[in-house]
Structures are given as structure tokens and as C-alpha cells.
């Protein structure tokens, strides 16, 4: 009997894994049966990307306890490096799933590098100052990628940075067989879409495994100790900078992988997609799902990605209703009075049922 | 725990309600496996009518909403006219919002396909159109975009056509016009560096201008985030001695530039492209600022021949139509003409209509609001003549 | 000469940022929340004044006062409905609510006034010509700088001298202690929102006069920039917001002129990062060492 008792956290983790696997199987089944409408089918991959984004941001915001307003920047780095990789390896690796995997790994690596560059200075700051600097980095990444020109031909990869606005893709002097991969502000417009729902599922699972294991490990406990009381953690010999950086860079790398998958799901992608609003969108998933609550992030990302599409029936009022829903949910879940009210209503209803 | 359960329940309910909603309209979508037997259920009711389902996609909310709304409204006027006139071809129109974003645009497209769309008029913006056009190509949905002008939209996709000029075409035409009529101008190019439309025209313009030996004295850029203050660029242009300013951009930033140049007392000749159309009808715009502005555009709301469309648009939506609305209006009529030429019937599947229309598109000639004798090449680009206008006393006139 | 005109355009842009940043910093200092909806209140102020001037034909000063009145009411309503119930909630919850309010205002504005950009004619027209016309300064720029200085002086006086201002400072230091001293913390925070929103209306009028156009999204980017400016100067500090706004405007203008227009924002943000690394609490912010 003793063997069977597992820790509560482990049980929750396994339920989370199981939940995701079951959801994936149901969705696959429904899709293959043709029951799932196209609108939802088309959103499966983006939903997987947003789930990964939300989980990875939860690592920074919920577990590490630092507010990041530039998470979309890492997604952007991952997306564009992933697109470049996938497009230039088209002839080298003809097998699509492998190419996709390579692109996602490269996306993760580049985003991790960006994470280190951003993290080293940023993590010295605290609270809202840290938040604004991550916002600044997100905007900087967006502006730089907006200037990026990348092409690929038989001579290899060509890159240029259009800083003064006087360069264009023709300045790369591509061979006739070359392809323009990223054309500055026009972004990546000829991407071969190779993303699949299965890849999205694998990404979500990998993200879950990495984040949950990190959280339950010695490192994770150190990170949470820093969140709860930095000074106390420091005093017991925890290397604050190191653990903060580990969490931050892991989060960035996962966002990069998600970005790569996202980028390879659409044939056109512009750097402006990954602006402040996208960072905020992911933050909303995290806060709504509950800080530090990984499985809440999964649900919140799914629901809030589908919600604007589900509201299409409201035409012009769609985004207005979305905003109202957002405010009401925040009020309902965080207001003590509302909570008390909810608590009063629910038992009452139960009582009514037994009476009737 | 209760909260978590509640959230989970919400998620489940939402997912299933979506599945349920979609289930009904699903049989109209064409499966690439070709099991058309299921489609007969749907053709039963549509065979009695002659109504084609047309969708438009564009930003109806967000900062680009002006363009998407114009497309949706323009298409609506055309559809209403066609339906009111009766005839063998009738349309049912549905417009979806994409916030000018690729992801949302693909969602909107899928949504329309769930509804049973047979023909797509859209998307409105370039980035979104590239994302949707490759879906259309894969799934064989006929796509006619009113306003996405980049060549990336049509490149390599035989079933995607444009109503508007391509960006390179506009840039080249503008440079040609300048080389012909204002050869010794000192030109300063100011363009929006994070906008595909603006950059596309600028690239073609600069290439052609160099070939034609035009004198470009300087270049300035701005981004969406810095599109409110042009004093620096204007000062640089003034310092460079520019007497002509080429503004390949939409009218909103252009109006700011005209205002700020006026405040600085700097008055070069401003030269715009089709995106400049609409500047005169901006609410609160002082038309005297635009005096002498030149622009190459296929559509003008002040021309007499367009009066009935303009009137109908104003009556219905309380605004003066811009070029986007005119393009969308034309797009619906082009579809009608192509459908007639191809002999399509409303009970055909989306893919069948697409295959029927593709060869026809290169043979038809259409006279519309945005051009007389429009023809299409197999690569999807339209051939029509842009007209150069000068703004005088608040109306477009042909330059002397 | 060009340098001077770049500098002037930087100063006038900076003053606009500064006015918005003053509103941000006031609310942050007292309520300790990042009010992301501030930029959108500015936009509403712009629309109200636009309507008052163009539809009702009111003189600009009346339009400004009307905009202030409407924005004050709006600010108080938003605060009461969306923020007040979350007084004891975690700060992130309030942040997300503020974002929800921001989406709401933008979309409501689009439904009311349509998405079409409107041309906003400056509240004061014309420009000052100096040095034989080599240097022109729009009167709006001068007005912006003056208004900005007046507001800053007014706020400084208000918070240091008046009873309500002192109450605000007390709330900002320690809410519980302030409550114990008989200060009505809730009312003080609501008043702060009222003042912040009235400032937003003025900022809206000046921002739109400076930009010359008005759209439902007019407020969002300046809002973020002003937030940056407020942090730059040390968030919560009134002179800091002014200094931060001004510097950000000048840096942006100079970067556009001499380095790259593409990277104007990037350079502004890069300077911010460097400043925060050297002075983690901003230029004029108080660095509070943590007590163990």
C-alpha cells in the first residue's frame, strides 16, 4: 500500500499531463471524424502555441514572481529564427516533421540567447522597474526585426539590417534561385507552413514536463524561495542571480519554441504581430489562470483564444464584449465581496435543489 | 479547487458549444477527399435559388478598422444593387473581422468556410491576405482581394486575383509620371518602414527613379509608433532642399504631414499614391492644406461618373467612400461578370467554382469605378491605368 | 539651426509625454497601480473636445473644460466600478482589469465615433517665426510647455501644501497608518483618480493638437511612452515625471534626426534601460532599501 501513495503535487502533475493527452486525443478524434468545424480546427495550432506561451510566462510571473511585459519579444525571436531555419533547410531536410523540430529547437536556442541578453541586466531590477524594462526590450526586439532583411540562396544565408530605411531586399544581391525569407517590415511572406497539431501537442507536453519538473526540483524550490522572500533566500546561501536567470531563460526558450511553431503555421508573419498587446494577451492568460497555477494557464489560454472567435456573432460589439468579460472575470475572481456572494449563491442553489 | 473546477467546466462548455455550432454548417465545406455525396444535403435548398455565398474579410475593429469597414460597406452596396436588380446571379454577403492580423484573418476565413462561403472578396490588408491566400490556394477557394496590393499575395497562386494596383506598379507609375512631368524635381521620399504597402511602393519607386535619373535628395522613414510627429523628417527634407515630397502611405499619416509642414511654413509639392485618397473627406481636415497635392489614384469620389455609388454609400453609411470601398464594389461586380462568363451556378462547390473562374479571369474585361477596361494576367495582377490628379479647391482635377 | 529646431520639436513632444506621465505618476504614487487605461482616458478627452469644438462650435477653452469635466466623471466611474472592488486584490489583478478597461474604452470609442481618423485642428493655430523665418515654433508647442510647467508647479504645491495633498502623500507612504490617522483612504484614492483624469483631458487636447489627428487608438502608444517617461524619471515623483517626459522627447527627436528614424523608439528605450541599470529607481526616484 505504501508504494501507491504518491505526493499530492505529483498527482496534480500527472492529472495535468493526462488532461492534456486526453484533450489532444479527443480533438484528434473529432477532427478526423469531421465533427470539428474549420474555425476551431484552424485554431488548434495557435492554441497550442499560446498554451506554451502562457505556461512559460507563468514560470516568470507566477513561479519567479517577476512581472514581464515583453514575453512576445522572445516569441518573436523564436518565430523568425525558426522561419529562417525551416526555409533555408528546405532542401537539406526534406522530411517535414524533422525540419519543424529543428526549427523549433533553433527558435528556442535563439530565444534563450535573447533571454540571457535581456535577463542579465533586467533581473537586477525589481518590481515595476523590471516590468518596464522587459516592455522596453520587447519593443526593441520588435523594432530590430522590423529592420531585418534575410534571404537564402545557393551561397548560403544573407542578412542585412535596414537601419536608415534605404535598403531593401534587392540589396542582398540574391542569386536568381534565392528566396527572400524576411523582407523588413513586410515580414516573412513566403513561409511554407509545416506546423501541425501533433507538433503543437508535443510542444505543450514538453513545456509541461520542463516547467513542472523545474518547479518540483531543487532549482524550483530555490526560485520560489526567492519569490517569497529574496533576502531570506539569499541569507541561506541561494545564488539569487543564478536561479532567477535559470527561470527567466527557460521561460524565454520555451516561448521561442512556441514562436517557431506559430511562425511556421502561417505563410505570412510580421514583427508587429509581437507587440506590447501580444505580451499583455499572454499575461492575461497567466493572471486569469492563476499565478503559479500551470494547469490554470492551459485552460485560460484555450478559453481566451477561442472566446473572440466564439463572439463573432456579436459583430461590431465583439471586442467590447471581450473587454467586459475580462473585467467581470477579474472582478469576480478577485473581489472578496463577489467571492462571498458567489459562495452564498452556490450553497443556496444546492439547498433549493434538495428542497425541490 | 472549486474555482478550478468552474474554469474547467467553462472550458468544456465552450469547446462543445463551438463544435455544436460548427457541426450544422460543416457539410458545405469541401473535403479534399472529394466525398461530394454529403454535399447533396446542402445543394437541396440552394439549387432552387441562385444565391452565391460571398465573404469579405477585413479589420472591422482596431486601428485599421477604417479600411475593413470600407471594404465591407462597398461590397454590401454592390451586393444589394445586384440582388435588387434580380437576375440569374444573386449574392449573400457575410463580413468578418480580422483586426488586420494574419492569425485572426485565417480564423475569419475558416469561419466563413464553415458558413459555406463560395467566393472570397478579401482580405483587406496585405499581411493578412498573404496568410489567407495560401490557404485559399491549398483549398481551392477563389480569392479576389480588393485592396491587398503586395505581389506576395498573388505570387505563385493561380486562383488569387487583385482589384487594386500592385505596390511595384504604383511605385513605378509614380516614378514614370515624375520623370515625364517634373523631371528636375528634388525629391524627398518619406515612407512608413513597418508597413508592407508603404515599403513596397517605396522600393519600386526608388528603383525606377534611379533608372529614370530622377533626383532623390533624401529619404526619411517613420513607424506606426512614431507616426504622429514628422517635424524631424520635414526639417531634414527642408534642409536637403527638397521641392517635392513623395508620400507612399495612407492618408492618415499624410494628413499629419501636411498639417505639420504647414505649421512649419514648408510647402513642397506633395505627391501621393492611391492610399492618399480619402484625405479630403477626413472629418475636420482643412482642405486648403491639400491644395496642390498630386496623387496617382484609380478612384475619385468627386468624379461625376462615380456619383451614384458615392450617393448610395453616403445615404447608407453617412460617409464618403474611399478607394477601398470602390475596390470592394468593383470586386463584387467582377465576380458577377466572371461567374456569368464561366457559367457557374450556385449549387457548385467552392472548389468547382474556383476551377471554373481561374481560366475565365484572364479573358474578361471589366469597367468599374476604379478603372475602365480592367484586365487580369495569369499571375493575378490587374492592369488598369492610374490617373494623376491634382487637388484644387478641395476637388480632384486633372493636372494641366 | 536644424539642431535648434530638432531640440524644440523634442521639447514640445517631451512636454506632451510629461503631462501624460504626471497623470500616471500621480495614480501610481498613491494607488500603487499601473493604470494602463490612462492613455485611453486621454483619447476620450480628445474626442470630447473635438466634438465640442466641431459639432457644438464651442470656443476651445470651453471645450477643454468640458473635456475635463467628462474625463473626471469617467475616471471616477471607472475607478468606482473596476478598481475599487479590487483594492485588496493582488496588483496584477488590478493591472489586468486596467487593460480590460483600456480595451473597453477603445472599442466603445470606435463604436461611438467610428474608426475613421479625424483631423484635430490645434486649439491655438499659427506659429512663431524667429531668426528671419529660419526657425518656426508652433504656438501649440509653446502652450504645451507652459501648461506642463504650470501643472507640475500646481501639483507640487498641491501635494506639499493642501490638506488633501498631504493626505495623498500619507496614503502613498503607508495606507494603514494613514487610515489610523483618520484619513479616508478610499476617498483619497478616488480623488487622485479624478485629478489624474482631469489632467488626462488636458493631455488629450494637447496631444491631439500636437499630432493633428484623432483615432480610437490615439492614446495607447503615447500612454506607453509616458509610462516609460514616468519610470525614467522615477515613478511616483512629480518632478521626475516632468524630467523623464522631457528627456524622452528630446532623445527621440535627436535619435530620429541624427541616428535613424526606424530606431527612434529603440534608442529611447535603450537609454531607459541604461538609466535604470545605473539608477534602479529612475532619475529622481527614491531608492528604498529593503528592511530585513
Distance CA(C46)–CA(C204), nearest Å, equals 5
pLDDT tens-digit map of C96-127: 899 999 999 999 999 898 888 888 888 887 77
Is the predicted pLDDT of residue B298 greater than 80, yes or no? yes
User: A78: cis peptide before it, omega within 30°?
Assistant: no
Q: Which residues of B touch A190 (CB under 8 A)?
A: 152, 155
Domains and CATH numbers, chain A: 2-275 (1.10.3470)
Q: Output the CA angle A59-A61-A63, nearest 5 degrees.
A: 50
Average pLDDT, chain C: 88
- Count of beta carbons in the 10 Å neighbourhood of residue B224: 18
Q: Are strands B371-376 and B366-368 parallel, antiparallel or unpaired?
A: antiparallel
C-alpha cell at position C210: 500636437
**Band of pLDDT at residue A342, cut at 50, 70 and 90:** low
DSSP conformation class of C86: G
The confidence score (pLDDT) of residue B13 equals: 47
Domains and CATH numbers, chain B: 49-165+311-383 (3.40.50.2300), 168-297 (3.40.50.2300)
Give the end-to-end CA distance of chain C in Å, rounded to a whole number: 55
DSSP conformation class of A188: B
Instruction: Describe chain A by its helix, strand, coil percentages, rounded to 5.
Output: 75, 5, 20
Distance CA(C184)–CA(C171), nearest Å, equals 9
Is the predicted pLDDT of residue C290 greater than 80, yes or no? no
Which candidate, C80, C224, A320, places its Cα nearest to that of B225? C224
Sequence-separated (6 or more) residues with CB below 8 Å from residue C50: B284, C118, C120, C208, C214
The confidence score (pLDDT) of residue C133 equals: 67
Q: Which residue has the cell 475565365?
A: B360
Is the predicted pLDDT of residue B45 greater than 60, yes or no? no
Sequence-separated (6 or more) residues with CB below 8 Å from residue A239: none
The confidence score (pLDDT) of residue A349 equals: 44
Distance CA(C39)–CA(C36), nearest Å, equals 7
The confidence score (pLDDT) of residue B316 equals: 92
C-alpha cell at position C290: 529593503
pLDDT tens-digit map of C25-63: 888 888 888 888 999 999 999 999 999 998 998 898 999
pLDDT above 90: percentage of residues in chain C? 43
- Contact (CB, 8 A) for B191 and B227: no
pLDDT tens-digit map of A261-314: 999 999 999 998 999 889 999 999 999 898 889 989 999 999 999 998 888 888
The residue with greater pLDDT, B318 or B17, is B318
Write out the H or E segment, with its range, that includes residue A85: helix A71-88
Q: Sign of the C-alpha dihedral, residues A126, A129, A134, A137?
A: negative
The confidence score (pLDDT) of residue B16 equals: 46
C-alpha cell at position B255: 494628413
**Binary contact (C99, A61; C-beta < 8 A):** no
pLDDT tens-digit map of A92-122: 899 999 999 999 999 999 999 999 999 998 8
- Contact (CB, 8 A) for B177 and B358: no
Distance CA(B113)–CA(B133), nearest Å, equals 14
Give the end-to-end CA distance of chain A in Å, rounded to a whole number: 43
pLDDT above 70: percentage of residues in chain C? 97
Is the predicted pLDDT of residue B27 greater than 90, yes or no? no
B223 at interface of A, judged by CB pairs closer than 8 A: yes
Which candidate, A195, A56, A96, A84, places its Cα nearest to that of A145? A84
The residue with greater pLDDT, C286 or B15, is C286
**Binary contact (A136, C272; C-beta < 8 A):** yes
The confidence score (pLDDT) of residue A341 equals: 67
Average pLDDT on B105-111 reads 94
Distance CA(B94)–CA(B120), nearest Å, equals 10
**Binary contact (C104, A331; C-beta < 8 A):** no
Distance CA(C198)–CA(C188), nearest Å, equals 15
Distance CA(B233)–CA(C260), nearest Å, equals 11
Distance CA(B330)–CA(B147), nearest Å, equals 11
**Binary contact (B14, A307; C-beta < 8 A):** yes
Distance CA(B372)–CA(B366), nearest Å, equals 7
Write out the H or E segment, with its range, that includes residue C240: helix C238-258
Is the predicted pLDDT of residue B88 greater than 60, yes or no? yes
ipTM: 0.88
Is the predicted pLDDT of residue A64 greater than 60, yes or no? yes
Average pLDDT, chain B: 83
Average pLDDT on A342-350 reads 55
For chains A and B, count residue pairs whose Cβ atoms are closer than 8 Å: 163
Is the predicted pLDDT of residue B184 greater than 60, yes or no? yes
Give the closest of A35, A168, A310 to B203, CB-based: A168
Chains that touch C (3 or more CB pairs under 8 A): A, B
pLDDT above 90: percentage of residues in chain A? 56
- Contact (CB, 8 A) for A208 and A17: yes
pLDDT tens-digit map of A232-259: 999 999 999 999 999 999 999 999 999 9
Average pLDDT on A52-63 reads 95
C34 at interface of A, judged by CB pairs closer than 8 A: yes
Average pLDDT on B25-54 reads 48
Is the predicted pLDDT of residue A169 greater than 80, yes or no? no
Distance CA(C258)–CA(C11), nearest Å, equals 16
Q: Are strands A148-153 and A179-183 parallel, antiparallel or unpaired?
A: antiparallel
Distance CA(C78)–CA(C196), nearest Å, equals 12
Is the predicted pLDDT of residue A168 greater than 90, yes or no? no
Q: Which residue has the cell 475607478?
A: C79
Which candidate, A296, A338, A265, places its Cα nearest to that of A104? A265
Strand partners, A159: A150
DSSP class per residue in B82-111: HHHH-SS-EEEEEEEE-TT-HHHHHHHHHH
Is the predicted pLDDT of residue A351 greater than 50, yes or no? no
- Count of beta carbons in the 10 Å neighbourhood of residue C27: 28
The confidence score (pLDDT) of residue B34 equals: 37
The confidence score (pLDDT) of residue A136 equals: 92
* Exposure of C175 in the CB half-sphere (CA atoms within 13 A): 11
Give the closest of A125, A147, A337 to C85, CB-based: A337
Distance CA(C112)–CA(C12), nearest Å, equals 30
Alpha carbon A61 to chain centroid, angstroms: 13
C180 at interface of A, judged by CB pairs closer than 8 A: no
Q: Output the CA angle B255-B259-B265, nearest 5 degrees.
A: 145
The confidence score (pLDDT) of residue B22 equals: 40
Strand partners, B216: B187
* Exposure of B161 in the CB half-sphere (CA atoms within 13 A): 31
- Alpha-helical regions (H) of chain B: 2-25, 40-46, 65-85, 102-115, 126-139, 151-154, 167-181, 196-212, 231-239, 251-264, 307-317, 323-342, 350-361
**Band of pLDDT at residue A1, cut at 50, 70 and 90:** very low
Alpha carbon C291 to chain centroid, angstroms: 32
pLDDT tens-digit map of C146-189: 999 999 999 999 989 999 999 988 988 888 899 899 999 989 99
Distance CA(B50)–CA(A15), nearest Å, equals 53
The confidence score (pLDDT) of residue A338 equals: 66
pLDDT tens-digit map of A176-198: 888 889 988 788 888 888 999 99
Q: Which residues of C touch A136 (CB under 8 A)?
A: 228, 269-270, 272-273
Q: In CATH, what class is C2-119+137-278? A: mainly alpha
Lowest model confidence (mean pLDDT) among B25-34, B288-297, C234-243: B25-34
Q: Which residues of B touch A38 (CB under 8 A)?
A: 22, 26, 29, 110-111, 113-114
DSSP class per residue in C42-62: HHHHHHHHHHHHHTS---HHH
Average pLDDT on C240-262 reads 89
- Contact (CB, 8 A) for C244 and C233: yes
- Give the C-side interface with B, CB within 8 Å: 2, 5-6, 9, 13, 50, 54, 107, 110, 114-122, 127, 129, 133, 136, 138, 140, 210-217, 221-222, 252-253, 256-257, 261-262, 264-265
Distance CA(B324)–CA(B296), nearest Å, equals 15
Chains that touch A (3 or more CB pairs under 8 A): B, C
Is the predicted pLDDT of residue B20 greater than 70, yes or no? no
Amino acid at each position: 500500500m505504501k508504494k501507491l501513495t504518491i505526493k499530492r503535487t505529483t498527482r496534480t502533475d500527472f492529472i495535468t499531463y493526462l488532461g492534456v493527452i486526453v484533450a489532444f486525443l479527443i480533438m484528434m478524434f473529432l477532427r478526423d471524424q469531421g465533427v470539428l468545424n474549420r474555425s476551431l480546427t484552424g485554431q488548434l495550432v495557435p492554441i497550442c502555441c499560446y498554451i506554451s506561451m502562457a505556461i512559460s510566462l507563468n514560470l516568470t510571473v507566477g513561479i519567479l514572481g517577476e512581472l514581464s511585459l515583453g514575453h512576445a519579444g522572445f516569441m518573436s525571436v523564436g518565430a523568425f529564427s525558426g522561419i529562417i531555419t525551416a526555409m533555408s533547410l528546405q532542401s537539406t531536410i526534406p522530411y517535414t516533421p524533422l525540419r519543424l523540430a529543428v526549427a523549433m529547437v533553433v527558435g528556442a536556442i535563439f530565444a534563450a540567447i535573447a533571454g540571457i541578453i535581456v535577463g542579465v541586466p533586467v533581473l537586477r531590477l525589481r518590481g515595476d522597474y523590471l516590468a518596464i524594462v522587459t516592455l522596453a526590450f520587447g519593443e526593441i526586439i520588435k523594432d530590430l526585426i522590423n529592420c531585418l532583411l534575410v534571404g537564402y540562396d545557393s551561397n548560403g544565408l544573407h542578412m542585412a539590417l535596414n537601419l536608415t530605411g534605404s535598403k531593401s531586399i534587392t540589396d542582398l544581391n540574391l542569386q536568381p534561385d534565392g528566396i527572400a525569407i524576411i523582407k523588413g517590415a513586410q515580414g516573412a511572406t513566403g513561409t511554407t507552413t509545416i506546423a501541425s497539431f501533433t507538433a503543437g501537442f508535443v510542444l505543450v507536453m514538453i513545456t509541461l514536463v520542463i516547467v513542472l519538473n523545474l518547479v518540483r526540483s531543487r532549482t524550483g524550490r530555490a526560485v520560489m524561495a526567492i519569490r517569497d522572500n529574496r533576502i531570506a533566500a539569499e541569507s541561506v546561501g541561494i545564488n539569487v542571480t543564478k536561479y532567477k536567470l535559470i527561470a527567466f531563460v527557460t521561460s524565454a526558450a520555451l516561448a521561442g519554441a512556441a514562436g517557431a511553431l506559430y511562425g511556421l503555421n502561417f505563410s505570412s508573419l510580421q514583427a508587429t504581430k509581437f507587440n506590447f498587446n501580444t505580451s499583455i494577451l499572454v499575461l492575461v492568460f497567466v493572471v486569469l489562470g492563476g499565478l503559479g497555477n500551470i494547469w490554470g494557464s492551459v485552460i485560460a489560454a484555450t478559453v481566451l483564444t477561442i472566446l473572440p472567435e466564439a463572439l463573432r456573432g456579436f459583430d461590431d460589439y465583439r471586442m467590447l464584449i471581450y473587454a467586459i468579460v475580462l473585467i467581470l472575470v477579474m472582478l469576480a475572481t478577485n473581489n472578496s465581496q463577489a467571492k462571498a456572494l458567489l459562495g452564498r449563491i452556490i450553497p443556496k442553489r444546492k439547498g433549493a435543489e434538495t428542497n425541490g | 479547487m472549486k474555482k478550478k473546477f468552474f474554469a474547467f467546466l467553462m472550458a468544456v462548455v465552450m469547446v462543445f458549444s463551438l463544435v455544436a455550432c460548427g457541426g450544422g454548417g460543416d457539410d458545405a465545406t469541401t473535403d479534399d477527399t472529394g466525398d461530394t455525396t454529403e454535399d447533396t444535403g446542402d445543394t437541396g435548398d440552394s439549387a432552387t435559388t441562385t444565391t452565391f455565398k460571398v465573404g469579405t474579410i477585413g479589420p472591422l475593429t482596431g486601428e485599421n478598422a477604417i479600411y475593413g469597414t470600407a471594404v465591407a460597406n462597398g461590397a454590401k452596396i454592390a451586393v444589394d444593387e445586384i440582388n435588387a436588380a434580380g437576375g440569374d446571379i444573386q449574392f449573400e454577403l457575410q463580413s468578418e473581422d480580422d483586426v488586420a492580423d494574419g492569425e485572426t484573418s485565417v480564423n475569419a476565413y475558416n469561419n466563413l468556410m464553415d458558413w459555406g462561403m463560395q467566393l472570397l472578396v478579401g482580405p483587406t490588408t496585405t499581411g493578412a491576405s498573404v496568410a489567407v491566400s495560401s490557404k485559399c490556394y491549398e483549398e481551392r477557394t477563389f480569392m479576389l482581394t480588393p485592396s491587398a496590393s503586395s505581389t506576395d499575395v498573388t505570387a505563385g497562386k493561380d486562383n488569387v486575383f487583385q482589384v487594386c494596383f500592385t505596390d511595384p506598379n504604383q511605385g513605378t507609375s509614380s516614378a514614370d509620371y515624375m520623370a515625364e512631368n517634373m523631371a528636375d524635381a528634388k525629391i524627398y521620399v518619406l515612407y512608413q518602414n513597418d508597413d508592407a504597402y508603404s515599403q513596397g511602393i517605396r522600393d519600386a519607386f526608388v528603383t525606377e527613379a534611379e533608372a529614370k535619373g530622377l533626383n532623390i535628395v533624401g529619404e526619411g522613414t517613420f513607424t506606426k509608433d512614431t507616426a504622429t510627429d514628422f517635424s524631424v523628417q520635414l526639417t531634414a527634407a527642408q534642409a536637403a532642399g527638397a521641392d517635392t515630397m513623395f508620400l507612399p502611405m495612407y492618408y492618415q499619416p499624410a494628413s499629419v504631414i501636411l498639417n505639420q509642414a504647414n505649421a512649419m511654413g514648408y510647402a513642397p509639392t506633395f505627391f501621393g499614391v492611391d492610399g492618399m485618397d480619402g484625405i479630403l473627406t477626413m472629418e475636420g481636415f482643412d482642405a486648403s492644406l491639400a491644395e496642390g497635392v498630386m496623387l496617382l489614384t484609380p478612384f475619385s469620389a468627386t468624379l461625376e461618373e462615380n456619383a451614384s455609388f458615392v450617393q448610395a454609400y453616403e445615404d447608407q453609411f453617412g460617409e464618403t467612400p474611399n478607394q477601398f470601398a470602390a475596390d470592394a464594389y468593383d470586386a463584387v461586380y467582377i465576380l458577377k461578370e466572371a461567374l456569368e462568363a464561366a457559367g457557374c451556378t450556385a449549387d457548385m462547390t467552392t472548389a468547382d467554382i474556383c476551377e471554373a473562374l481561374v481560366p475565365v479571369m484572364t479573358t474578361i474585361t471589366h469597367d468599374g469605378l476604379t478603372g475602365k477596361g480592367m484586365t487580369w494576367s495569369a499571375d493575378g495582377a490587374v492592369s488598369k491605368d492610374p490617373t494623376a490628379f491634382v487637388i484644387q479647391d478641395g476637388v480632384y482635377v486633372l493636372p494641366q | 539651426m536644424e539642431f535648434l529646431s530638432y531640440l524644440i520639436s523634442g521639447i514640445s513632444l517631451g512636454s506632451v509625454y510629461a503631462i501624460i506621465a504626471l497623470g500616471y505618476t500621480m495614480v501610481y504614487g498613491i494607488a500603487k497601480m499601473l493604470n494602463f487605461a490612462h492613455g485611453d482616458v486621454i483619447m476620450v478627452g480628445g474626442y470630447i473636445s473635438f466634438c465640442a469644438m466641431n459639432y457644438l462650435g464651442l470656443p476651445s477653452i470651453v471645450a477643454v473644460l468640458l473635456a475635463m469635466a467628462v474625463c473626471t466623471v469617467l475616471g471616477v466611474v471607472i475607478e468606482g466600478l473596476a478598481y475599487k472592488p479590487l483594492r485588496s486584490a493582488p496588483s496584477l489583478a488590478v493591472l489586468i482589469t486596467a487593460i480590460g478597461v483600456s480595451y473597453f474604452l477603445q472599442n466603445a470609442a470606435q463604436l461611438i465615433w467610428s474608426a475613421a481618423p479625424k483631423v484635430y485642428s490645434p486649439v491655438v493655430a499659427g506659429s512663431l517665426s524667429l531668426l528671419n523665418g529660419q526657425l518656426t515654433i508652433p504656438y501649440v508647442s509653446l502652450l504645451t510647455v507652459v501648461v506642463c510647467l504650470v501643472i507640475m508647479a500646481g501639483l507640487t504645491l498641491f501635494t506639499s501644501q493642501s490638506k488633501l495633498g498631504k493626505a495623498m502623500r500619507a496614503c502613498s507612504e503607508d495606507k494603514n497608518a494613514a487610515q489610523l490617522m483618520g484619513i479616508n483612504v478610499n476617498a483619497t484614492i478616488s480623488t487622485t483618480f479624478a485629478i489624474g483624469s482631469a489632467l488626462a483631458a488636458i493631455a488629450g487636447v494637447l496631444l491631439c493638437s500636437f499630432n493633428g489627428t484623432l483615432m480610437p487608438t490615439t492614446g495607447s502608444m503615447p500612454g506607453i511612452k509616458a509610462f516609460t517617461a514616468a519610470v525614467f524619471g522615477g515613478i511616483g515623483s512629480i518632478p521626475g515625471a516632468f524630467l523623464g517626459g522631457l528627456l524622452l522627447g528630446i532623445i527621440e527627436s535627436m535619435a530620429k534626426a541624427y541616428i535613424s528614424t526606424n530606431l527612434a523608439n529603440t534608442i529611447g528605450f535603450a537609454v531607459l534601460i541604461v538609466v535604470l541599470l545605473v539608477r534602479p529607481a529612475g532619475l529622481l526616484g527614491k531608492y528604498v532599501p529593503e528592511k530585513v
